[in-house]
Amino acid sequence: MKPARLALADGTVYPGFAYGASGSVVGEVVFTTGMTGYQEVLTDPSYCGQIVTMTSPHIGNTGVNSHDSESATGAPQVAGFVMRDPSPVASSWRSETTLDAYLERRGIIAIGGIDTRALTRRLRDFGSQNGCIGSEDSATLVDRARAAPPMEGLDLVARVTPRERYRFSEPRGEWTVASSEALTPRAVRKIVALDYGAKRNILRCLVDSGFEVTVLPASASARDVLDEKPDGIFLSNGPGDPAAVGYAVETLKELVGKRPIFGICLGHQLLALALGAQTYKLKFGHRGLNQPVKNLATGRVEITSQNHGFVVDVDSIGNHARTTHVHLNDGTSEGLEVPDARAFSVQFHPEAAAGPHDTLYLFERFRTLIDRTK
């Protein structure tokens, strides 16, 4: 095993061994607390530009397959990958290749043998920061990490959004866990999904809810959206600083109130900005499959899957919208609604890929909202 290092911009260096593709890479170092779903993490476009640390120590034991990728192309989206104990073998009836071979073939630079507990504590205590993975000397790696641009102000949506309009019609099939109501044949409703870095399983859930899904790139204008004559508009997840995606915010300002709107993750943040609220960067973000959220309408606690470093400022929402969900760990915004404009959004990922299924009902809520306007 070839020695390698992960160097943080603050000068901290973690020794390990090279894994995956050869070379060096810089990005914002973050951690996710999920104990499963590493392939979904690797391929989630919301991780674009980030070096992702897996807090679960044993990674790669179930291999990689062609069905669990969350990006439209199936390609990994992370800048780099950090693990404690990469498995030398893959054992699963669904496995098609090993994690090491997959990362090498896809050009993703990773590192194993890292003390991920120590790294996670540092990111938790001092905040996410830029880092560099490579085999060069520590000083060189630290300099590269410090020279990388900060996440604030970065428009990463432009890297992951599709270039052209496309139709999506793939259901979840055998993995469907929707309600019987969602599976009952109903009139097809047409929606436009604005793709800021959409996960495939989100689009699959929309198909399962009876939607005919047309996907438009993030640069689409309000006229482009309305020319599709949709019954509703969906705003996807995505990476980077929402305040840097001003063109998307301006488009949403024109669309609010024109059609029912449902947003997830970055879509939630962009909708909030369009309504007049503000966003800011969290110290280390929310990433994992066990994030507790309180539904203020029902009083129930919902366990959610999340992946974001920026958040809507609850105090700035004011009279622009009604807060519907809050994070129980820090009280940050997890959902809002504007009933008069037929719009709502959530910060977490109800499609649960990977993760719990507590909030799958939100896709049905979107369907009901549209049906009531027809």
Residues 125 and 233 in one domain: no
Cα–Cα distance, 46 to 246 (Å, whole number):
18
Q: Is the model's pLDDT at 171 over the cut of 90?
A: no
Cα–Cα distance, 370 to 231 (Å, whole number):
7
Residues 73 and 181 in one domain: no
Residues 124 and 199 in one domain: no
Tokens of 350: 């109800």
Average of per-residue pLDDT values in the chain: 95
Q: How many domains does the chain have?
A: 2
Residues 96 and 118 in one domain: yes
* Residue whose structure tokens are 């499959």: 289
Interval 118-127: pLDDT, tens: 999 999 999 9
Please report how the helices 246-255 and 266-275 are oriented relative to each other, as an axis angle in degrees rounded to 10: 70
Other beta carbons within 10 angstroms of residue 347's beta carbon come to 31
Q: Does residue 152 belong to any structural domain of this protein? A: no
Mean of pLDDT values over 231-253: 98
Chain centre distance of CA 336 = 18
Residues 181 and 322 in one domain: yes
DSSP 220-262: --HHHHHHT--SEEEE----S-GGG-HHHHHHHHHHBTTB-EE
**Domain interval for residue 63:** 3-147
Q: Does residue 301 belong to any structural domain of this protein? A: yes
Active site residues: 265, 349, 351
Tokens of 6: 């992960």
The residue from 99, 124, 147 where one domain ends is 147
CATH number of the domain to which 300 belongs? 3.40.50.880
Interval 91-150: pLDDT, tens: 999 999 999 999 999 999 999 999 999 999 999 999 999 999 999 999 999 999 999 999
CATH number of the domain to which 62 belongs? 3.50.30.20
Q: Is the model's pLDDT at 181 over the cut of 70?
A: no
Q: Does residue 163 belong to any structural domain of this protein? A: yes
Residues 230 and 308 in one domain: yes
